[in-house]
Amino acid sequence: MIFTEQQVETISPNPAAYKAGKALAVASKWVTLAKTDRVIWGEIQGSSKTPYQVQIDIVTMGYKCNCPSRQFPCKHNIGLMLLYASNPNEFKIESEEPEWVKSWIDKRQAKANKPELEEITEEKQEKLDKAREKTQTDRFQSVQVGIDELELWLKDLIRIGILELPNKPASDFSKIAARMVDAKAPGLAGWVKSLGSIDYSNPTEWQNEALTIISKLYLLIRTFKNYENLTPTWQITIKNLVGWSQSAKELIANNESETVKDQWLVAGQVTETTDDEITTQRNYLVGCQSNRYALILNFSTKHTTIENPLIPGSVINAELVFFPSALPHRAAIKTTRSVGNQLEQQPQSLGTWADVFKQKAAQLQQNPWQQETTAIIDDLRITNRNNRWIAYDKNLNYVMVSPKFDLQKIMRWLAISGNRKMRVAGIIRSETLYPLGVFENNQYITL
């Protein structure tokens, strides 16, 4: 895979790291530069006596550097990728990698082709099953106590009246959210936090948003209380919404898991970091043949890196395994055959906003807690109306662009389009559009 500068900038941890890496994207600054068909590597002199060893997996995408930086990718990884993007001929073609490169890339490929699974005896499995059953029983009891408390809190909100919501101190929301975390129901805590983070200064919008959250949260509570009468699929769905996590390793190892092999476009990536420095990376993928949408979550902390990062705008030939749900959307990568930048064919798109919201309505029928819809829409233009950016279709119907969408990215869209109609991939959240990228001929350009 040949990276583009924009793709490298997208996966850089911050603008300063990208700037520092760009300064290193000069061949004369590197002691060695080489490549095989699966990896590129280089050595560069840093503050230590011996040069830092930098390597990039160009098949399934991964990076490593032995410098002491806690940023991932570090400036040396960024510099090597940028140099490869601009001057791939500077890398000497080798038939074999040196041992420090070979051992790393061999381990990555072995792990990708054969997930590490511990062999478990029958006796040990029985003990694990008993322990798991006890853990689940204890957690259900803890969650049930928390849910009873949350239901009472919601009823108090309604009794007092939602018009009093703007007057509630932030501590009221944070206390009940913390209580849900203590009750082992972090999913419920997220809904409470979203209720507390509404912009209550906007008198025309907050009431609908608050009512939607309260209604869905109350429906979730009542559904959990009816857990025993639900189908297995809905039981899994409700547990996930409340806060149970599912193991990606177990999912991949399960032969009954839904698996889709396709050429997947990494349409976009949204990264958020919490106060405790946990980074969540949401990767939105579209199957070019299956026309399936998939969400891949990656996590990192200040001490750990994302093991298999995805590059927005890249195209991966891979098998995805979907987590079971009433509306399967989240997935994990089972195997990756190759990563590139070329689309063999574009995924299907929707013609108008009416088509998009028809799709969204159908998804809400399947899962009323669905919070976002990924879609590709034809013939969109962007313009500013009353100090708000809007995207309108060929029928002149429009949707507001999310206020969280960066102005610099809006300017990029305008520069690419020249005010032409374009096919756009984006996320629909709370009746607003968060654009991810645009299609230009047979190329996909991230915003």
Q: Residues 288-336: pLDDT tens digits?
A: 999 999 999 988 776 666 667 788 888 999 999 999 999 999 999 988 7
| Cα 120 from Cα 152, distance rounded (Å) | 44
What is the DSSP pairing of strand 422-429 with strand 372-385? antiparallel
| Cα 306 from Cα 77, distance rounded (Å) | 14
205 pLDDT more than 70: yes
68 or 338, higher pLDDT: 68
Average pLDDT of the segment spanning 6-23: 86
Cα–Cα distances (Å) from 103 to 60, 111, 114, 142, 320, in that order, read 16, 12, 16, 46, 27
Q: What is the pLDDT of residue 226?
A: 94
Residue 164: CB atoms within 10 Å: 9
**Spatial contact of 17 and 74, defined as CB atoms under 8 Å apart:** yes
Average pLDDT of the segment spanning 175-191: 93
| Amino acid letter, residue 374 | T
Q: What is the pLDDT of residue 441?
A: 81
Average pLDDT of the segment spanning 275-296: 87
What is the DSSP pairing of strand 372-385 with strand 331-340? unpaired
Mean confidence (pLDDT) of the chain: 88
**Spatial contact of 192 and 173, defined as CB atoms under 8 Å apart:** yes
Cα–Cα distances (Å) from 159 to 117, 162, 166, 212, in that order, read 52, 8, 15, 17
> Can you name the residues that pair with 350 across neighbouring β-strands?
377
Cα–Cα distances (Å) from 395 to 140, 191, 269, 379, in that order, read 50, 35, 29, 10
Residue 391: CB atoms within 10 Å: 22
Q: What is the pLDDT of residue 307?
A: 67
Which range is least confidently modeled, 265-274, 310-319, 425-434? 265-274
| Cα 312 from Cα 328, distance rounded (Å) | 22
b/e map 4-14, b = 16+ CB within 10 Å = beebbbbbbbe
pLDDT band at 431, cuts 50/70/90?
A: confident
Which range is least confidently modeled, 2-11, 225-234, 415-424? 2-11
Segment 119-148, tens digit of pLDDT: 667 777 777 777 777 888 889 999 999 999
b/e map 184-206, b = 16+ CB within 10 Å = bbebbbbbbebbbebebeeeeeb
Q: What is the pLDDT of residue 355?
A: 95
Average pLDDT of the segment spanning 80-96: 91
| Amino acid letter, residue 86 | S
pLDDT band at 204, cuts 50/70/90?
A: confident
Q: What is the pLDDT of residue 298?
A: 84
117 pLDDT more than 60: no
393 pLDDT more than 60: yes
Which range is least confidently modeled, 118-122, 180-184, 349-353, 437-441? 118-122
115 pLDDT more than 60: no
436 pLDDT more than 70: yes
Average pLDDT of the segment spanning 411-427: 93
Confirm whether pTM is higher than 0.95: no
**% of residues, the chain, pLDDT over 90:** 57
Q: What is the pLDDT of residue 119?
A: 61
| Amino acid letter, residue 140 | F
Q: What is the pLDDT of residue 271?
A: 81
Which range is least confidently modeled, 183-192, 194-203, 238-247, 338-347? 338-347
